[in-house]
Structure 1
Amino acid sequence: MNKTKPKKAREVHSVFYVISYDIPDNQRRNQLAKVLKGFGTRVQYSVFEAHLTRSQFEQMKQAVDSVIDPDKDAVRYYALCRACVGRIEVPAVGDVTIVPETIVV
């Protein structure tokens, strides 16, 4: 008789990231936008917001690195704490990307 312990649910915490970029080449810029759309929400022409686990963040960075030219392109990742996300203000058009509750898998 196989007595295996039941698997426990584990919490997966996500972090809110703001990703901005300045890519002079149209083709690379369009490729990067496609990559980032797979991870987050476009909030401005060259700015995305995303809630990512550590693993997803690493996957996104690898995907970004496969597209950009580090000698010509600029990409920035900003990680915001929950308190900081709660203080985001959008005084004009647009919405703040909603922070998901803790995910249990």
Structure 2
Amino acid sequence: MDRFFYILAYDISNDKRRTKIAKLMESSGTRVQGSVFEAWFSPKELDKVVQRSKRILVDKEDSLRVYFLCEDCRKKVSLYGKGKVTEKPGLVII
């Protein structure tokens, strides 16, 4: 199954919804900053996370941004300070 690299960033105005979204993102990606995650998803996995997020978000108050980074673009990510860019997972058993 092919997985692709994504950056997910959210801005949630309500603490309860923000906690729910954070838990969802933590279960499927790597937190790289407060509300920013890196993750490797197949198209089906990404759709599942987005659909679950949409059930939590309030359209007029919150936002979730999903950025696709191609492999060449991911290799060009610059990181300054601590941390590392999330590596592509090996074998994943679900």
The question of a shared fold, defined as TM-score above 0.5 by the shorter chain, is answered with: yes
The share of aligned pairs that are identical, in percent, is: 33
- Residues 8-54 of structure 1, C-alpha deviations (whole Å, 9 max, x = no match): xxxx1111000001111111111100011111111100101100001
- The equivalent of 1:37 in structure 2 is 26
- The equivalent of 1:71 in structure 2 is 60
Match status 1:48 vs 2:48? no
- Residues 46-92 of structure 1, C-alpha deviations (whole Å, 9 max, x = no match): 10110000110010001101111111001100000000111111111
Q: Which runs of 5+ in 2 are unaligned?
A: none
- The equivalent of 1:24 in structure 2 is 13
Q: Secondary structure at the match of 2:28?
A: coil
Whose Rg is larger? 1
**Structure 1: distance between partners of 2:82 and 2:42:** 28
Q: What TM-score, normalized by structure 1, do the two folds share?
A: 0.82
Equivalent position to 1:93, from 57, 79, 82: 82
**Structure 2: distance between partners of 1:38 and 1:50:** 10
- The equivalent of 1:82 in structure 2 is 71
- The equivalent of 1:3 in structure 2 is none
- Structure 1 runs of 4+ aligned residues shifted over 3 Å read 100-103
Counterpart residue type for residue 72 of structure 1 = E
Residues paired across the two proteins, number: 92
Q: What TM-score, normalized by structure 2, do the two folds share?
A: 0.91
CA contact under 8 A between 1:16 and 1:52: conserved in structure 2? yes
- The equivalent of 1:60 in structure 2 is 49
**Structure 2: distance between partners of 1:41 and 1:15:** 14
